[in-house]
Amino acid sequence: MIHLKYVLKEIVTEKKDIFLSVLFGYLAGMTAIVLFGASGYLVSKAALAPPLYTLAFLIAGVKLMGFFRALSRYGERYFSHRATFTMLSNIRASFFQKLEPLAPRIFQKYRSGDLLARIVGDVESLQNFFLRVLYPPILLILVFLSTIFFVVFYSWWIAVLLFIGLILTGLIIPAWFTIRQKKMESRIREARAELSTEATELLYGFLDLKIYQKLKGKEAQLTNASEAYIFEQELEGKTAMFNHAINSMASFTVSWLVLTVGAFLVTEGQLDGVFLAMLVMISLTMFENATPMAVLPDHLEDNRRAAERLYSVVEESEAETGSSSSKKIPNKQALAIEFEKVSYTFPEERHPAIQDVSFHLPAGSKTAIVGPSGSGKSTLLQLLLGISDPDKGEIYVGDSEIIHISKEDLWSKTNVVLQENHFFYGTIRENLLIADNSLTDETMNSVLNKVELQQFSLDDQVLEKAENFSGGEKQRLAIARAMLKGERLWLLDEPASSIDALTEKYIYAHLLHQAQNDTLVLISHRLTGLEKMDQIIIMEQGKMIEAGTYKELMDKKSYFYHMKQIEKDVLM
Amino acid sequence: MTDLKAIAKQQKIERVMLAIIAVLTGTMVIGQAYLFVSVVDSIFLQGLSFSDVLPSLAGLLVVMIVRAALTYWSGRTGVKMAAKVKADFRRSLLRKFTRNPIQASFKGQSGQKVSVMLDAVDEIDSYFSQYVPQVIQSSIVPLMIIGTAFYFHTPTGVIMLITAPFIPVFMAIIGMKTKDKSEEKMEEMAAFSGKFLDILQGLTTLKLFGEAGRQQEKIRTSSIRFRDATMEVLKLAFVSSLTLEFISMLSIGIIALEVGLRLIVFENISFFTAFFVLVLAPEFYTALKDLGSAFHTGRGSMGAADKITKELEEKENTVEWGEQDFSMSEPPSISLKDISFRYQENGFSLEDITVELPANQQIAVVGRSGSGKTTLLYLIAGLIPPEKGRIKVEDKHLYDYVEAAWFQQLSYISQHPYLFAGTIADNIAIGVEKEVTRTDVERAAEQAGISGLLHSLEQGLDTAIGEAGRGLSGGEMQRVALARAFLKNPSIILFDEPTTGLDLETERILQHSIEELAKNSTVITVAHRLHTIKNADKILFLDKGRLIAQGSHQELLINTPAYREMVTAQQGGGA
C-alpha cells in the first residue's frame, strides 16, 4: 500500500478536475434517479386521470432532467479522464526523472525490457486508480445518502432497505472479493513484464540469436510468455465478470425487496400506491452507481502491485544518491589532475582493479595511459569521471577532491569518448547536437571533415544503436561529438581502436591541435603516435609500473620499449 | 488474417452461444418488465392482496437473477474469444519478427516493436470481449422488444422502429474517426516506448554530455502527446454517447407523450399497457446505446489491428532456404561470384565481389574503416542475401542448404556479440545443440583466454552477465563469443577480430587456440593483427565496397601500393 501514496500525491495535483468530475458525477447520478423516479410517478399519476397541466409540467421537467443528466455525464467523463491521463503522463515523466540518476548501475539490476514494461504497462494500469478505485466509492456514498434521505419522506422501511443495499454492495461484497483476490495472487503485471523483457532481448540480440539458430527457441519462449500473460488477463476478465454478476444480483435482489416490501406496505395502507412504481425505479437506478464496486478490489490489488513495481525501482535512487557533492570546477580552464595512492576493487571481485596508483597531470598536459587489456586503464577513467569512488586514496581535479565535485558539473566540462558510445535513433545532426544544442550546420560539417566522415550528410539517418555504421565510423562520430563539445578536459578511452592507422593519424592531428592548451588523457592500446605526449603511464595488473616521456621510456629500454617491439610484430 | 470482422466470423460456436444468450436475455428483459408492471398494477390499481402477487414476485426474483447470470455467461464467452485471438495475433507477430532478415531487424526502434507486440495486441481485446457480444446482443434484444411493443401497443412499436435507426447512424458518423484517432494513439504509445528504450540505452552517454535534462523534457513531451492522443479518442467516445443519450431521451419522450395522451385524454389504453411499454422503452434504447459505446471500442481495436497489419505486411526480401543437408566432416570451400549488395537507396554498397575461398584455408579481410568488411562477412554467413550474384558452398548454392544445418556448422564472432541475460556459462553454451558438460565449458573458456577473468570473479562461470548482470568490456565480450566457437567446433568460422589490445599472455593463448580451431575449418577473419594477416593463405583487400586486390601478404606488399601504405602506417613507421 505504501507505494500507492506516491500515486495519490500525483492525483492530488489535479484538484480542480477531480472536484469537477465529482460534482458532475454527482449531478448525473442524482438527475438519473430523479428522472426515473419521476417517470414512475408520472405514469402512476396519469392512471388516476389528474388535470392535464400537472402532467405537462412534470413531463417538461423530466425532459429537462434528461438533458441535464446527459450533459453532466459528459462533464464527469471528460474531467475524470483528463485528470487521470494528465496524472499518468506526470508519473511517467517523474519516473524517468528518478531513474536517470541511477544509470548506469541500474542496468546491472534491471533489464531494459522490464523497465519499459514498468514505465508503459504498469503506469497505464494506474489509470484505474482514480477512475475505478478512488472515485466510485465517493460517488456511491454521495448518491446513496442523498437518495436515502429523499426516500425517508415516503417510507422508513424502504430507506432502511436501501441502506442495507449500500452496505451490501459497497462494503460487504467488495470485502469478500478482496479476500478472494488475495488468494488468487494475480501475476498479470509480472507476466506482462516478462513478455516485454524477452521481446526486447529478441530484438536486441537478434543477430546472435540468428547465428546460433536460437530464434525458434526464443519464439517458443515468447509464445509461452504471451500465453501466460493472456491466461492471466483471461482470468482477470472472468473474475471481473463474475464479480459483476454477483454485484448485480445483489442489487436486483434489493430492488426486488423494495418492490415486495412496498407492495406489502401498500396493501397494509402504510404507503400510497402512487409512489410504488417511483420507489422501485429509484432503487433500480440508484444501484447502477454500485456496479463499479464489483471490480474495485481487483483494480486496487492490481494498482498496488503496479505502484510497488514502479516505485521500488526508483526508491533506491533516493537512497543511493543521498550524498550530495555540490562543488563546481572552474569554467573554461585547463585543470591539473592528481591521483594519490588510489585503490579500487569492483564489487564481487577478488582482486583490486587499481592498486596504489599515484600520478600528477599538470594543467594543459597530454597523457597517454597504456597497458594490456585488464590492466585497469578504463577503471582509472571511471574513477576520474566519478562513476566509481576510490576505496582508498584521493583524486583531485583542479583544487578540489573529486568526491566533493558535482558529477553533473564535472561531466559537463569534460569531452569524453568511451569504448562504447551510444547513438540515438534519428539523424547525424541530432546525434551531434547532443554536444551543444546551438551548433550550426557549418561547424558540424567542418568537424565531420576533420574526422574523415565527409561522405556523410547531417541529414543521414542513424538507425537504432547506429547499426548502419561500422565500428570505425561510430568511433569517428563519437570523436566528432567530443570535439564539438569544446570543453577543456579530454578523457578518451581507446577512441580509435577500430579506425585504421592512416585515418587515426589524421584525426589525432586535428584532435591534438584543438586540445593544444587543454588537459588530455588518452587510453590507448596502440603504442604508435605517442611521441607527442607529455607523459606516458604504463599500467599492468592494476599497478602503475612506469611513467615518463616517450623518449625517456625508449631510452631506458624498459617495459614500454619491449611492448613496442612486440607490437611491431603483432598488430596491424 | 488481420481483418477482425473475418476473425470474429470464424468463431462460429461462440457466436451461436452468444446468440442463444441474447435470446434468453431478451426474454428475461421482457419478463422482468412484465412481472414488475403486473405487480405494481395489481397492488396499486386493482387493489389485490399481497398474497395474490406473491407468485409474480417470486417469478420476478428468478428472472432478475437469471438475467445477471446471463450477463456473466456472455461476458465470459467474450473474454475467451479475445484471449484466443490475442494469442494468434501475437504468434503471427513473433513469427514475423523471428523470420526477419538481419537488415530488417536494424530498422525502426525496438521499443516500437515491443509496443506493437504488447500494447497493440492488448488493444484488440475489447473487440472480442465487448464489441462482438454487444453486436449480437443488440441485434437480437431490441428486435424482441419491438415485437413485444407491437403486440401490446402498436404505436410504440412504430415509434421505436422510426427512431431506432438514428442511433446506429449517429454512432457510425461520430465513430468514423475513432479508428484513425486510436491508430494515432497506438502510434504515440509506440513512439514513447521507442524513445524511452533508446534513451535508456544511452543514458550514460547523455549524462556525460549533460543532456539528461533535455531528454527528460523529450520523455515528458512524448508522454504528454500520448495523453493528448488518448484524450482525443476518449472525447469522441464521450461525444458519441452524449449524442446517443439525447436521441434515446427524445425517443423515450415521444413514446411517453403518446402513451400519456392516450391514457389521460383519450382513455383508450390500460395502465398496465402504458406502464409496460414505458418500462420497456429504456431497455430498448439502452441496448442500442451500449452498442454505441461498444462500437467505439471496436473501432479502437480496429485501429490497433491496422497497426499490427502494417507491421506484418512490411515486405522483406527474406530468403527461402533449401532442403539440402549440410553435414560437413571436412571444412567446405566457398566461392563468390559477382556479389553485390546495397543497404538502402544511395546507401553503402558492396559491388561485384568475385573470389574463391578454398577449403580449410585461412582468409583475412583487410581494408580501411567503412570499406565493407563486416558486410562481406554477413553475406558469406548467409545473414543477408546478395542482391546480385551467387554464393556457392562446395558445389551447391548456399541457400539450397537447410538453414539450421548451415548455421550449425558456422561460428560467427562479431565485433559486438550480444550477451544474453544469464551466467557466463549459459552464454558460452548457447551455440551448441549437443549436451555439454561443465568441463567442456571450462575448457572452452580457457581456450578463449577468459580464465584470468573468471578467476578474478567471485562466482566465476556463474557470474551473471548481460542485462541485469555484470558489464563486460568489448574485448571480454568477444572472448566469450570465441568460447562459444570453441565449444561448438564448427567447420566455418567468421571472425571480426578484436582490435583492443590484449596482454601478451592472453595473446599467446589465443593465437594457439585459434590455430587449433583452424585445423578443421575454413576461417575468414576481418583482420587487424599482423599475425593473422601474415599467416593467412589469402588476403582480400577491400576499399570503398570493392575488392581491389587479393593474394598473400607478400604479393600484396609488392603489387598493391595502397596496401603497403596501410601496413606501414599501422606499424607506426613513417609512410
- Threshold 0.95, pTM exceeds: no
Place B327 in a pLDDT band, splitting at 50, 70 and 90: confident
Least confident of A61-65, A111-115, A289-293: A61-65
**Nearest CB to A419: which of B106, B265, B474?**
B474
Polymer length in residues for chain B: 575
Q: Pick from A102, A474, A73, A476: which is nearest to A315 by CA?
A: A102
In this structure, which long-range contacts are made by residues A241-244, counting pairs with CB atoms below 8 Å and at least 24 apart in sequence?
A: A241/B71, A241/B72, A241/B75, A241/B76, A241/B79, A242/B72, A243/A173, A243/A177, A243/A294, A243/A295, A243/A297, A243/A298, A244/A291, A244/A294, A244/A295, A244/B71, A244/B72, A244/B75
Backbone angles phi, psi at A174, to 5 degrees: -60, -35
Q: Are B449 and B392 in contact (CB under 8 A)?
A: no
Contacts of A540 in chain B (CB under 8 A): 503
Nearest CA in chain A to B485: A212
**Nearest CB to B75: which of A88, A120, A241?**
A241
Q: What percent of chain B has pLDDT over 90?
A: 34
Nearest CA in chain A to B225: A89
Q: Which residues contact B161 (CB under 8 A, 6 or more apart)?
A: B146
DSSP notation for A281-319: HHHHHHGGGGGGGGTHHHHHHHHHHHHHHHHHHHHHHHH
Q: Which one of B41-50, B55-64, B252-261, B363-372 scores highest in mean pLDDT?
A: B55-64
Residue A296, pLDDT above cutoff 80: yes
Go through A3-15 and write b for each residue having 16 or more CB atoms within 10 A of its CB, e for each that does not.
bbebbeebbeebe
Q: Are A381 and A491 in contact (CB under 8 A)?
A: yes
Q: Are B214 and A100 in contact (CB under 8 A)?
A: no
Best of A116, A310, A459, A566 to disrupt the B interface by mutation (most B CBs within 10 Å)?
Answer: A116
**Min Cα–Cα distance to chain A from B389, Å:** 23
Nearest CA in chain B to A69: B245
Q: Are B102 and A207 in contact (CB under 8 A)?
A: yes
Contact call for A78 and B235, based on CB within 8 A: yes
Least confident of A421-435, B50-64, B195-209: B195-209
Best of A80, A500, A527 to disrupt the B interface by mutation (most B CBs within 10 Å)?
Answer: A500
**Min Cα–Cα distance to chain A from B183, Å:** 17
Contact call for B209 and A434, based on CB within 8 A: yes
Nearest CA in chain A to B70: A245
Q: Residue A405 to residues A325, A397, A399: CA-CA distances in angstroms?
A: 5, 9, 10
Residue A324 has a pLDDT of: 59
Cell for A424? Answer: 540515438
- CATH number for the region B322-409+491-510+524-575 comes to 3.40.50.300
**Min Cα–Cα distance to chain B from A418, Å:** 9
pLDDT tens for each residue of B158-192: 999 999 999 888 888 888 888 888 888 888 888 88
> How far apart, in whole angstroms, are the C-alpha atoms of residue A119 and residue A8?
17
Q: Which of residues 296-335 of B touch A (CB under 8 A)?
A: none
Q: Would you call B55 an interface residue with chain A, using a CB distance cutoff of 8 Å? A: no
Q: Are A341 and A393 in contact (CB under 8 A)?
A: yes
Cell for A115? Answer: 523497465
Place A39 in a pLDDT band, splitting at 50, 70 and 90: confident
Residue B499 has a pLDDT of: 64
The residue written with cell numbers 516478462 in the block is: A194
> How far apart, in whole angstroms, are the C-alpha atoms of residue A489 and residue A413?
7
Q: Which of residues 372-391 of B touch A (CB under 8 A)?
A: 373-374, 381, 383
Contact call for B507 and A245, based on CB within 8 A: no
Q: Which residues contact B185 (CB under 8 A, 6 or more apart)?
A: B226, B229, B230, B232, B233, B300, B303
Residue B77 has a pLDDT of: 94
Q: Which residues contact A449 (CB under 8 A, 6 or more apart)?
A: none
Dihedral (CA of A435, A439, A445, A450) sign: negative
Go through B333-352 and write b for each residue having 16 or more CB atoms within 10 A of its CB, e for each that does not.
bbbbeebebebeeeebbbbe
Cell for A131? Answer: 477512475
**Min Cα–Cα distance to chain A from B163, Å:** 17
Residue A322 has a pLDDT of: 46
Q: Pick from A61, A425, A130: which is nearest to B215 by CA?
A: A425
- B421-489 is classed in which CATH architecture? 3-Layer(aba) Sandwich (3.40)
- Give the domains, in start order, of chain A with CATH numbers: 4-314 (1.20.1560.10), 337-413+487-570 (3.40.50.300)
Q: Where are the domains of chain B?
A: 4-313, 322-409+491-510+524-575, 421-489
Per the prediction, chain B carries an average pLDDT of: 87
Contacts of A82 in chain B (CB under 8 A): 231
Contact call for A213 and B199, based on CB within 8 A: no
Residue B554: HSE in the Cβ half-sphere, 13 Å Cα cutoff: 2
The 10 Å Cβ neighbour count of residue B406 is 24
Contact call for A104 and B203, based on CB within 8 A: yes
Same fold, B322-409+491-510+524-575 and B421-489: yes
**Nearest CB to B83: which of A234, A526, A567?**
A234
> How far apart, in whole angstroms, are the C-alpha atoms of residue A25 and residue A2?
29
Residue A330, pLDDT above cutoff 80: yes
> How far apart, in whole angstroms, are the C-alpha atoms of residue A386 and residue A345?
15
Q: Are A278 and A44 in contact (CB under 8 A)?
A: yes
Contact call for B68 and A92, based on CB within 8 A: no
Residue B502 has a pLDDT of: 63
Q: Pick from B273, B284, B237: which is nearest to B126 by CA?
A: B237
> How far apart, in whole angstroms, are the C-alpha atoms of residue B483 and residue B489?
10
Residue A571 has a pLDDT of: 55
Question: Residue B468 — left, alpha, or beta (φ > 0 → left; ψ -120 to 50 → alpha)?
Answer: left
Cell for B526? Answer: 576481418
Q: Pick from A303, A367, A405, A402: which is nearest to A546 by CA?
A: A367
Residue B574 has a pLDDT of: 42
Largest CA distance in chain A: 123
Residue B473, pLDDT above cutoff 80: no
Q: Would you call B275 an interface residue with chain A, using a CB distance cutoff of 8 Å? A: yes
**Nearest CB to A348: which of B374, B457, B527?**
B457
Residue B503, pLDDT above cutoff 70: no
Contact call for A373 and B502, based on CB within 8 A: yes
What is the tally of helices (H) and strands (E) in chain B?
A: 22, 12
Cell for B13? Answer: 460456436
Strands (E), B461-562: 464-465, 492-496, 522-526, 538-543, 546-551
Place A343 in a pLDDT band, splitting at 50, 70 and 90: very high
Contacts of A111 in chain B (CB under 8 A): 421, 467-468
Q: Which of residues 333-362 of B touch A (CB under 8 A)?
A: 343, 347
Local structure of B348: helix, strand or coil: coil
* N- to C-terminal Cα separation, chain A: 61
Cell for B223? Answer: 508522454
Q: Where are the alpha helices (DSSP H) in A321-400?
A: 377-384
Nearest CA in chain B to A457: B347
Cell for B488? Answer: 561448438
Nearest CA in chain A to B271: A47
Mean pLDDT over A226-251 rounds to 92
> How far apart, in whole angstroms, are the C-alpha atoms of residue B350 and residue B367?
13
Dihedral (CA of B133, B139, B142, B144) sign: negative
> How far apart, in whole angstroms, are the C-alpha atoms of residue B235 and residue B227?
12
Place A257 in a pLDDT band, splitting at 50, 70 and 90: very high
**Nearest CB to B43: which of A110, A273, A485?**
A273
Mean pLDDT over B363-370 rounds to 87
Mean pLDDT over A241-255 rounds to 92
Local structure of B244: helix, strand or coil: helix
Contact call for A204 and B110, based on CB within 8 A: yes
Place A369 in a pLDDT band, splitting at 50, 70 and 90: very high
More confident residue, A488 or B530: A488
Least confident of A183-187, A267-271, A414-418: A183-187
Local structure of B543: helix, strand or coil: strand
Best of B195, B215, B499 to disrupt the A interface by mutation (most A CBs within 10 Å)?
Answer: B499
**Nearest CB to B234: which of A36, A81, A124?**
A81
- CATH number for the region B4-313 comes to 1.20.1560.10
The residue written with cell numbers 591521483 in the block is: A339
> How far apart, in whole angstroms, are the C-alpha atoms of residue B99 and residue B315?
12
Contact call for A264 and B208, based on CB within 8 A: no
Residue B572 has a pLDDT of: 60
Q: Which residues contact A123 (CB under 8 A, 6 or more apart)?
A: A88, A91, A92, A95, A306, A310
Q: Residue A483 to residues A208, A420, B443: CA-CA distances in angstroms?
A: 34, 17, 45
pLDDT tens for each residue of A260-282: 999 999 888 888 888 988 898 89
> How far apart, in whole angstroms, are the C-alpha atoms of residue B201 and residue B213?
16
**Min Cα–Cα distance to chain A from B337, Å:** 23
* N- to C-terminal Cα separation, chain B: 63
Polymer length in residues for chain A: 572
More confident residue, A452 or A568: A452
Residue B575 has a pLDDT of: 33
Contact call for B503 and A348, based on CB within 8 A: no
Contacts of B235 in chain A (CB under 8 A): 78
pLDDT tens for each residue of A473-532: 999 999 999 999 989 999 999 898 888 777 888 899 999 999 999 999 999 877 777 888
Q: Residue B426 to residues A283, B140, B415: CA-CA distances in angstroms?
A: 64, 58, 20
Residue A569 has a pLDDT of: 63
> How far apart, in whole angstroms, are the C-alpha atoms of residue A169 and residue A291?
8
Contacts of B459 in chain A (CB under 8 A): 348
Strand ranges across the sheet with A337-344: A354-361, A337-344, A392-397, A400-401
Per the prediction, chain A carries an average pLDDT of: 88
More confident residue, A57 or A28: A28
Contacts of B455 in chain A (CB under 8 A): 350
